[in-house]
Structure 1
Amino acid sequence: MTTYQGFLSELRHQPESPVAYFLKVGEQTVALNELIGTKLTLTFLEEKACCSCGRKVKGKLYGGGYCYPCVTTLAECDLCIMKPHECHFDKGTCRDEAFAQTHCMIPHYVYLALSSNVKVGLTRKHRELTRWVDQGAIRAIPIAELPTRKMAGELEMIIAEHIADKTDWRKMLKGVFEEADLFDVRAQMKAIVPEEFQQYLFDVDQLFEFTYPILETLEKVKSIGFDKEPTIEGKLIGIKGQYLIFDIGVLNIKKHSGYKVEVTTNAAVEQTA
């Protein structure tokens, strides 16, 4: 029996075929793919800590592991991160100008991805593979490269009037999707892009494709979590996006960032640095 104990962080991954997943538990990083098909026990140890400042929290964590003071003050937790078109940097009200210069005032891709359906999204340039895997995309292509996050958000909003900007996470986890040719969809979207954005459109011939380590799919997707079930025990049958897929339901690891847990497995498992 092997046991790991510590505060959870969101799943890490490498875009191999299939995607290679890693679970960070405190200072330990566990290679998850080799545990698929085995029984895991995850026990919440009744402690939570902010993923940014480390402050212990008795109540709720926000936005993937932040305490309330951090979520109300940090630039990465501002509303404009979720709604980039509402960036207020030019109004002089940015929470952290240094953060903005390194995260927002840099090139961003607007992309099309297929998971449960074709969706439009944006991500920092050179972070696109991470973003696509986090969303459980099976295929993706970029459509434009914009000089700032705000401009990417504005273009995203225009395209979102014609195609979705959300993923049905249940369908994504079941592998149910509406087939579509992303190159055809991209051509259609380019035709409706306003003139001021035309200079940022570009063609990439490569279709990025992803496969995920999944043994079997669930007929009915049930969300499970530590707030209702302090101990989660089941057979790990797959991993996709930020979800561990058990035979008893699916656990969103990012949602539980900052929870202190004990992870137990009977399988021999490799640890990475």
Structure 2
Amino acid sequence: MVYTGVLRKMMTELGSPVQYYLQLENDIININQALNKTLEITFIKHECLHCHLDKPIYRQGFCKSCFFDIPQAADWIIRPELSTAHLDKEDRDLAYEKKVQLQPHIVYLANSSSVKVGVTRKAQVPTRWIDQGAHEAIEIVEVPNRYLAGITEIALKEYVSDKTNWRKMLKNEIEDADLISEKKKLAAFIPEEAKPYYLENSKETSIEFPVLQYPSSLKSL
């Protein structure tokens, strides 16, 4: 079989194990079914995910001109504490920024190489955790906008990392953590504006990945 399309981040579905789907132009392929099989991938051309032109990809799937222009690649995407839609202030496109920023966001703990703190839109749970390779995760607060999530993450990363050691993650060198206990320890450090949104009764989510064998050594490209 030959399939053609733009290579994007795979879709995922929480299950035992997680299911991965590669979405192409006219096909959706369950990648789990390709485990232990030989695949050949051939590069045809570039395609920016925004303008769809054949231009070199700069970052996040966008060409350089789109990356520095469109709201989907603005700084607040990576640094949610820079969000300003709740103040009715525009960065690149206020309508888009209100749509994305002014919706429920989750600040969470995840264990992908060690315990880390992170932010995602509520609609992206558990997708975000799967994308990060987390074996377990728990919600800390659910806030009404991205700014509150951002300042909460900033406060909590003084006490817990916000980074993943990708080598340990890929080699599965991960120890189970008591995320409920870790969440309770961090509760005291949540900013005052976000404390009313603390999730006292949130539970751990466990994630199983479809791995046949983890590598013993890694080499970056």
Instruction: Please report the TM-score for the alignment, with normalisation by the length of structure 1.
Output: 0.77
Q: Deviations over 1:37-77 (max 9, x none)?
A: 111111222x10101221111x3x13321012211111110
> What is the SS of the residue equivalent to 1:195?
coil
Higher RCO (C-alpha under 8 Å, 6+ residues apart)? 1
Quote the Cα distance in structure 2 between the aligned partners of 1:9 and 1:113: 24
Task: Count matched residues.
Answer: 220
> What is the SS of the residue equivalent to 1:49?
coil
1:205 positional shift: 4.1
Match of 1:3 in 2: 2
Taking a change above 3 Å as real, the CA distance of residues 141 and 21 of structure 1, as seen in their structure-2 partners, is: same
Quote the Cα distance in structure 1 between the aligned partners of 2:201 and 2:136: 13
> What is the SS of the residue equivalent to 1:23?
strand
Say which structure is richer in strand: 1
Taking a change above 3 Å as real, the CA distance of residues 91 and 102 of structure 1, as seen in their structure-2 partners, is: closer
Quote the Cα distance in structure 1 between the aligned partners of 2:36 and 2:135: 22
Match of 1:17 in 2: 16
> What is the SS of the residue equivalent to 1:141?
strand
Quote the Cα distance in structure 2 between the aligned partners of 1:86 and 1:155: 12
Match of 1:53 in 2: 51
> What is the SS of the residue equivalent to 1:98?
helix
1:198 positional shift: 1.6
Two-structure CA RMSD over aligned residues (Å) = 1.5
Match of 1:92 in 2: 89
1:125 positional shift: 1.2
Q: Deviations over 1:123-180 (max 9, x none)?
A: 1112111111110111011000111101100000000011011111121111112432
Match of 1:256 in 2: none
Q: What are the ranges of 5 or more consecutive residues in structure 1 without an aligned counterpart?
A: 225-273
Quote the Cα distance in structure 1 between the aligned partners of 2:82 and 2:127: 24
2:69 to 60, 68, 73: 73
Match of 2:160 in 1: 163
Instruction: Please report the TM-score for the alignment, with normalisation by the length of structure 2.
Output: 0.94
Match of 2:137 in 1: 140
Amino acid at match of 2:29: V
Quote the Cα distance in structure 2 between the aligned partners of 1:3 and 1:85: 44
> What is the SS of the residue equivalent to 1:196?
coil
> What is the SS of the residue equivalent to 2:72?
helix
Percent of pairs identical after alignment?
35
